[in-house]
Amino acid sequence: MPQTADTPASVAYDLDTDELARQYEATSGKAQYETGLVLLQELPVIPGAHILDIGCGTGLLAAHIASLAAPHGRVVGIDPLTKRIDLARKKISPDLEGTLSFEYGLAQDLSRFGNESFDIAVMNSVMPWLTTEQQQKTLREVFRVLKPGGCLGVAGGSGDHPNHFYEVRKRVLFRDPYKDYYPDPAIGAPKRITSDALVRLSRETGFSESKIRFESRALVVQTKEEVLQMATSSSFGNYTRSLPDELQTAALDEMVRGFEEFQRDGHFEIPIETLIAVIYK
């Protein structure tokens, strides 16, 4: 099957490495974590709440949520990346045992969870990695596992605004010799949903109401190595995966040069627009 932006094959899960998982936690994970904290302000996370963190990655946010829901709450994080779940499990400190757990799993298959078993579901920087079909399946599943009156919090990049990590990448992948390997630069790139599409999707899948807003901020990154680590680790190896090994370094060098416009006094300030949505059952 040819790869296009819409085929599930456009994102692979077997490219992740221990190094990428570690880098995610050290660099990109912190940016996503900050977004997650903004999202949490909109969600009724109280002691005793049952919360499902879908696409929890290395579990930074889930562990924080668990500290808010403890001691009688329950927080379950799921993610298809085994190396990230392994890192996440290290965050189950003795005081969170019994509250926090992590499992391998996909957003679109929540069959292990019963109907109406969670007060809140969270998807922080996860939705763009799902195809349109997977997004529909996921929201139907989330609707099923949420208690009446429960809600889904969604945060991350939106299709309403450009994402500089992928604008820079697209410009480079359109050039020779890279373009031969990327008939469509959307391959391996996140499919960011627009706010209108998210509202439509939530209605189609049974949700009653959604509140959506955007947050603008600058991502401050100290070195060009960190910029690249953010790009490659938050895409779990998909950023330049279709290029042969011998072209990887040259392409990444060109991408780093593409970020020079964001250089300020020895560091980078990359503007990001984040969608923050709460969708009610």
Ligand X SMILES: C[S@@+](CC[C@H](N)C(=O)[O-])C[C@H]1O[C@@H](n2cnc3c(N)ncnc32)[C@H](O)[C@@H]1O
> Residues 170-209: x/- map of binding to ligand X (CB under 6 A)?
----------------------------------------
Minimum CB–partner distance for residue 263 and ligand X (Å): 24
Residue type, 12: A
Pair 239, 188: CB distance under 8 Å:
yes
Among positions 72-131, residues that touch ligand X (CB under 6 A) are 79-81, 84, 106-108, 124-126, 129-130
Among positions 129-158, residues that touch ligand X (CB under 6 A) are 129-130, 134
* Alpha-carbon torsion angle 32, 34, 39, 45, nearest 10: 110
Cα(23)–Cα(206) distance, integer angstroms: 38
Q: Is 31 in the site for ligand X (CB under 6 A)?
A: no
Stretch that binds ligand X, among 43-51, 55-63, 86-94, 251-259 (CB under 6 A): 55-63
Task: Kindly tell me which of 142 and 178 has the beta carbon lying closer to ligand X.
Answer: 142
| First vs last C-alpha separation in the chain | 37
Helix axes 28-40, 60-69, angle to 10 degrees: 30
Token digits of residue 105: 């799993």
Cα(256)–Cα(8) distance, integer angstroms: 28
Q: Is 29 in the site for ligand X (CB under 6 A)?
A: yes
Stretch that binds ligand X, among 57-65, 89-97, 167-175, 242-250 (CB under 6 A): 57-65
The strand pairing partners of 4, in sequence order, are none
Interacting residue ranges for ligand X, rule: CB under 6 A: 29, 32, 36, 54-57, 60-61, 79-81, 84, 106-108, 124-126, 129-130, 134, 234, 236
